[in-house]
Amino acid sequence: MKKIIAFIFCLAFFNTAFAQLDRSVRPEAGPAPELDFGEYKLYELDNGLKVIVVEDHKLPRVSMSLVIDRKPVFEGDKAGFIELAGEMLRQGTMSRPKAQLDEEVDFMGASLNTSSSSVFASGLSKYKEKLMELVADVAQHPAFPAEEFSKLKKQMISGIESSKDNPQAVAGNVFNARLYGKDHPYGENATVESVNAVDLDDCKTYYSNYWIPNATYLAIVGDVKAKDVKKLAKKHFGDWKPGNKPESTYPTPTKPDGLAISFINKESAIQSVLVMGNTINLKPGDPDEVKMALTNEILGAGAQGRLFLNIREDKGYTYGAYSNYDSDRLIGEFTANASVRNEVTDSAVTEFMKEFNRIRTEPATDEEIRGAKNAVIGSFGRALERPQTIANFALNINRFNLPEDYYETYLPRLEKLTKEDVMTAAQNYIQPNHMHLTIVGKASEVADKLESFGKVQYFDEEGNVTDKPSMPVPDGVTAQTVIDKYIEAKGGAENMKKVKELEIHRKAVMPGAPAPFDQVDLQKSPSLYRSTMTVPGYGVVQEMLYDGEKAYMTNQMGTKEVEGPDLLSIKLDALMNKELKYDELGYKLKLLGMSMVDGKKAYVMEITDPMGDAFTRYYSADTYLPIKEEKKTDTPQGPVISTTTYSDYREVKGVKYPYEINLIMGPQKITLTAEEVKVNEGIAKDAFQKKE
Amino acid sequence: MKKKLLFLACLGITQLTNAQTNIEFEEYDLDNGLHVILHEDHSTPIVAVSVLYHVGSKNEPQGRTGFAHFFEHLMFEGSPNIGRGEFTTIVQANGGAINANTSFDRTFYYEILPSNQFELGLWLESERMLHATVDNKGVETQREVVKEEKRLRIDNQPYMSFQQNMFEKAFADHPYGHTPLGSMEDLNAAQISDFADFYETFYVPDNATLSIAGDIDPDEAKELIKKYFSDIEKGSKDIPRPKPAFSVMNGEMVDTVYDNIQLPAIFLGYRIPGQSTKDSYALEMLTTLLSDGQSSRMYKTLVDGEQLAIAVQTFPFALENGGLFVTLGVTNMGVSLGDLKNGIDREVERVRNEMISEKEYEKVLNQLENDFISRNSTMAGIAESLANYHVYYGDANLINTEIKKYREITREDLQRVANTYLVNSNRVVLYYLPKKQ
């Protein structure tokens, strides 16, 4: 019997083990709950003020928001006056000096804030009448006291100064200026100068033009009765006189070709703040809005977005990478952002671009679509926890003329979307080939590596164009010390002087050309020079010759003798070892500073030849050999910078020569690779005679 | 996921309650010591599932600083049943939101889910408690993320090093002497066995509170909680709980920090007793008096009146075993830090020398009442409050009754605590000046 009991025990034991929870099975969802979109009441007063009421009796609270429904306003050289006007509304009314207003608000434990187009107040519902009275007083009878105005100006200027420390704020401001243009209301930023230029009258005029009841909504939410609110609104807002709604139009911002990179240098930065994006033509209520919501959810709205999963979770470049979009009656925007550590700035840009292109060209997976739809539905559900959401929906329906059931049908419309809808929306609204990228970061460490994505332009914190920043030169380093070290690095003056003849054969690779060209440089001391470019099977396409007296240029159009200043210039170029006697020849050297070239520190030297033509040469701070040269050339299309880079230095008879040279001018790039460098191996004299 | 450290989170947050609210809840313990709190509310079809682990930076031994916060990250790496990095995506792809934060005293995780996904939330949190993945790969990944977080939130932000600078000085002899971010060197030096040991010590049911609020049926909830949590074993290790006795500082400490800023600023921190003490409540009321609202004393005189500052804020950095009464001021253009400091000192002196008026006292209580009601307006807020009140005060019902604690504070008490704690010998002064370019 004992055995049987033991046996049964064993069974029981095994049974429990068997019935144990299978943790590998993720719990299934129950039936989807119904979302309750609540109800609102809308009343219109005789003066045109629209009153929206949402009753919610869960907590004894009430909130009131008065919203001016106005078009964007361009402020120009007084940028900041609208914001100041909004703050002035909080500085007291005709019958309530500021101190009294503050006291009355705080004594209820309430809050009351104003902006250029709103008043927002909240507090316990037992104070609803008093709150409404204060909101109405502030909106209709602001006193605009002069002494508060000068205080606010000073504070706003301090705020502008202080925001220059905040890399996110700077990135946002400059991005907007670049995306919309500084002549657009969305692109202009208040500056110290523009705020200084604002008069109190500017604020008063703005207020009287735009604060009119027939362009205004009052939304009341909370533990109130709709009919009481209606009565209260009539009492406190009924006498407000209507006015004419101001109209305005603005030019549509143009989009750049390719990626327009704007860099704001912060020498102290240890992270690069990246903001990128393009304008979109997407208005509130557009049928595409729900598609863009889903697309953005997949791409980068949160931690399940591709940007986050790739750039944070997989690469660890950042704490977060996100994308966003805004629909807008004037012009909307798609943006993406991240703060990444300096050394991976360019890699992060690569990943952003990759993801933008991927969502445009590859269908999302079923799992992504399902997950993103659930996320959008979930955020809807959470938003409904706040009764203000219902009021916001009502406001949007009325301001933007949306169908009354816009929000009720939003989720069913979302459910119907397909992979194709996502790709189409991405193609329409995410445009990596017409994008602005703004970076706040340490230029000396990160900027040069960005050149491969597009032209990098430099800006100050206010979005004004500036020069490329340079780094300070260490103590004791001068133009002469750099040249001396360079000569030493190249092989030393002794070895260099021994070079009497130099013959270099190179292959020249040009994009678009069917095969590499042959390029031969011949040089004989003191100053004979011939440089020939040949296409195999075709013949000479370009040649430059200096025979000791005269210079000739040959191209497909024929041969021409070079005269005047160009002759002098070629004569100087032909001179062997001119670096050894810059002084004697009349060259001027100026050490401009230090900079980074492809991640390497370099001395930046401005070299001016005896004719006064200047170019910039970058000497590696490590090897002292030249790694880059820049020269500005004026062309009929305007100035063009031509860049030459030098690398792969190899020694031939004690002197170093760059075996790889890249010539870059505008979109053109030629790569020259040396195949043979011959020193003092004999060059026939007639090699430098003009061929007839 | 924007996981937050409780850095400046205390700015403007006051911990209050109100006699008028009646938040019903029930609480019980599982056999393994897990404390469970349930609040039922069907007004929106969502549910907040939260777990509070009573471990923060103060529990970290020497040489292991930053561990508690690091675990906040590591705990998203997965489990045998949740793939690496999937924790968050599972929640979001099922319509939920997720977040976590770490303070000096505790680590807090929560999901807000559609209520039909309640069971998913329990499964996720129980996986995390039972057998979270603690391995090299996860540690490596999260180390980089935490370094980025530090760069983003502290190193690349003006003034943000203040917390570390202040606690280091005010609590040199105390576990609060290092902040939750800890030291990167410690994190780099730690071995996988150190992380495993930390997990086994602190991430156990008897050190956790499961607090749930929202659209649930409590009976069904209890069954599900049993299903997912009852088989998790009690912790087998002693949990280090430093409880240093409170003392005021013996001498003012002054330091200057050169930062990448344009406007000089001052940070003052007075050392104050733990948050459950009567004096802590009184000090909190003083912060409301001094800087809550535009009629508050410091705002009115220093920002509005004399225009010495563009911002002045006083807030209680109240913690379990002590804390700081912090005042920060950012100078207006052209104002010297000395003038701003004198202005702040004048206001502090005033609360020491004069009893506040009846009217101001009443205003402060009204402000606290309003704050409290707003605070418990979301399911996530209620779940968190219930867990905090249970863990720190041993009384979850404070969510309904805490206002009494404030009402019991008299005007005399306010003057007394000002004279006890808000004195120069009990403070750290940090001057923030622009770094020379």
Tens-place pLDDT, residues A44-100: 999 999 999 999 998 899 999 999 999 999 999 999 999 999 999 999 999 999 999
Residues B168 and B50 in one domain: yes
Do the beta carbons of residue A311 and residue A303 sit within 8 Å? no
Q: In A, which residues are within 8 Å of B117 by CB distance?
A: 29-30
Question: Closest Cα to residue A111, out of B374, B21, B11?
Answer: B374
| B48 pLDDT above the threshold of 90 | yes
- Average pLDDT rounded to a whole number, residues A473-477: 85
DSSP H or E run through B117: none
Chain pair A-B, CB pairs under 8 angstroms: 220
Quick one: CA dihedral B381, B386, B389, B390, positive or negative?
negative
The hierarchical CATH code for the domain A41-237 is: 3.30.830.10
CA-based R_g, chain A, Å = 35
Nearest beta carbon to residue A271 from set B113, B151, B215 = B151
Q: Is the dihedral of CA A180, A186, A192, A195 positive or negative?
A: positive
Q: Are residues B167 and B263 in the same domain?
A: no
Q: Which of A25, A57, A63, A382 to mutate to test the interface with B (most CBs of B within 10 A)?
A: A382
B47 & B154 share domain: yes
Q: Which of B94, B47, B13, B436 is nearest to B217 (CA)?
A: B47
**CB atoms B94 and A58 under 8 Å:** no
pLDDT above 90: residue A296: yes
Q: Do A378 and B228 touch (CB under 8 A)?
A: no
What is the model's pLDDT at position B156? 72
Q: Which residue in the set B120, B122, B310 is minimally distant from A155, CB to CB?
A: B310
Q: DSSP 3-state assignment of B6?
A: coil
Residue B215 structure tokens: 């659209």
- Here the tokens at position B332 are 């207006």
Task: Please report residues of A whose CB lies closer than 8 A to that of B89.
Answer: 303-304, 309, 371
- Say which of A107, A374, A379 has its CB closest to residue B366: A107
Q: Looking at the predicted structure, is the pLDDT value of residue A308 above 90?
A: yes
Q: Which of A480-489, A665-674, B15-24, B93-102 is predicted with the least confidence, judged by mean pLDDT?
A: B15-24
Q: How far is B92 from chain A (nearest CA, A)?
A: 5
Q: In what order do the strands lie in the sheet with A118-124?
A: A41-44, A50-55, A216-222, A61-68, A118-124, A111-115
Residue A643 has pLDDT above 90, yes or no: no
Same domain, B136 and B63: yes
Q: Do B148 and A102 touch (CB under 8 A)?
A: no
Looking at B213, B229, B245, which one is the last position of a domain? B229
Task: Flag whether pLDDT at A16 surpasses 80.
Answer: no
* pLDDT band, residue A13 (cuts 50/70/90): very low
Mean pLDDT of A139-155: 93
Minimum mean pLDDT among A16-20, A334-338, A370-374, B409-413: which range? A16-20
Would B275 be classed as within a structural domain? yes
Question: B280 lies in a domain?
Answer: yes
Residues of A in contact with B1 (CB under 8 A): 302-303, 320
Nearest to A154 among B123, B144, B332 (CB): B332
Could you give the CA distance from residue B176 to residue B272 in angstroms, rounded to a whole number?
A: 12
Question: Are B117 and A30 an interchain contact pair (Cβ–Cβ within 8 Å)?
Answer: yes
Provide the strand spans (E) within B115-236: 208-214
Which range is least confidently modeled, A614-623, B137-146, B245-254?
B137-146
Residues B138 and B222 in one domain: yes
Ranges of beta strands (E only) in A409-516 are: 434-441, 456-459, 465-466, 501-509
pLDDT tens figures, A106-133: 999 999 999 999 999 999 999 999 999 9
Could you give the CA distance from residue B215 to residue B200 in angstroms, rounded to a whole number? 33
pLDDT number for residue B178: 93
SS3 call for A536: coil
Shared domain for B25 and B154, answered yes or no, is: yes
**Within this chain, do residues B287 and B140 fall inside the same structural domain, yes or no?**
no
Which two tokens mark B152? 């983003």
**Is B18 a residue whose pLDDT tops 60?**
no
- Partners of A33 on chain B (C-beta within 8 Å) are 45, 114-116, 215
Question: What does the pLDDT read at residue B11?
Answer: 32
Full residue range of the structural domain in which residue B389 is found: 253-434
Beta carbons of B93 and A370 less than 8 Å apart: yes
Residue B264 lies in a domain: yes
B19 and B162: one domain? yes
A34-48, A678-692, B19-33, B213-227 — most confident range: B213-227
Q: Where are the beta strands (DSSP E) in B207-276?
A: 208-214, 253-259, 265-272
B210 plus B123 within the same structural domain: yes
B263 contacts A385? CB cut-off 8 A: no
Co-location of B330 and B195 in the same domain: no
Which pLDDT tens digit goes with each residue over A525-546? 888 999 998 888 778 888 899 9
The Cα A99–Cα A92 span in angstroms is 8
- Does domain A258-466 bear CATH number 3.30.830.10? yes
| Residue B342 identity | N
Domain A41-237 matches domain A479-688 at the CATH topology level: no
Asked whether residue B318 falls in the same domain as residue B275, the answer is: yes
Alpha carbons A274 and A261: distance in angstroms, whole number: 10
Helix-then-strand count for chain B, H and E: 16, 12
Please tell me the total number of residues recorded for chain A in this structure: 692
Strand-pair category, B322-331 with B107-114: unpaired
Q: At what angle do helices A419-429 and A345-361 cross, to 10 degrees?
A: 130
Residue B244 lies in a domain: no
Distance from the A374 Cα atom to the nearest Cα atom in chain B, whole angstroms: 5
| Burial letters A254-288, b for 16+ CB under 10 A, else e | eebeebbbbbbbbeebbbbbbbbbbbbebebbeeb
Per the domain annotation, does B239 fall within a domain?
A: no
Average pLDDT (A205-212) is 97
Minimal Cα distance from A31: which residue of B?
B116
**pLDDT reading at B9 higher than 60:** no
Partnered with residue A52 across adjacent β-strands are A42, A219
Distance CA A321, CA A72 (A): 30
What are the sequence ranges of the domains in chain A?
41-237, 258-466, 479-688
End position of a domain, from candidates B184, B214, B229? B229
| Residue in A98, A161, A374 closest to B95 by CB | A374
Per-residue pLDDT tens digits for B162-210: 999 999 999 998 999 999 998 888 988 989 999 999 999 999 999 999 9
CA A79-A85-A88 angle, to 5 degrees, is 135
What are the two backbone dihedrals, phi and then psi, of residue A640, each rounded to the nearest 5 degrees?
-125, 135
Q: Which pLDDT value is given to residue B293? A: 94
Angle in degrees, CA B395, B396, B399, rounded to 5: 115
Q: Name the domain boundary from B229, B262, B292.
A: B229
Cβ atoms A658, A677 nearer than 8 A: no
Tell me the pLDDT tens digit for each residue of B256-308: 999 888 789 999 999 999 999 999 999 999 999 999 999 999 999 999 899 99
User: CATH number, domain at B122?
Assistant: 3.30.830.10
Which residues in B260-321 belong to E strands, given as ranges? 265-272, 309-319
The pLDDT assigned to B343 comes to: 97
CB contact under 8 A, B370 and A267: no
Q: Which fold has domain A479-688?
A: outer membrane lipoprotein receptor (LolB), chain A (2.50.20)
A559: Cβ–Cβ under 8 A, 6 or more apart, which residues?
A: A543, A552, A553, A690
More confident: A595 or B86 = B86
Q: Tens digit of pLDDT for each residue in A547-576?
A: 888 899 888 778 888 888 888 888 888 888
Residues B92 and B217 in one domain: yes
**According to the model, what pLDDT value does residue A21 have?**
85
* Cα(A660)–Cα(A669) distance, integer angstroms: 13
B229 close to A124: Cβ distance less than 8 angstroms: no
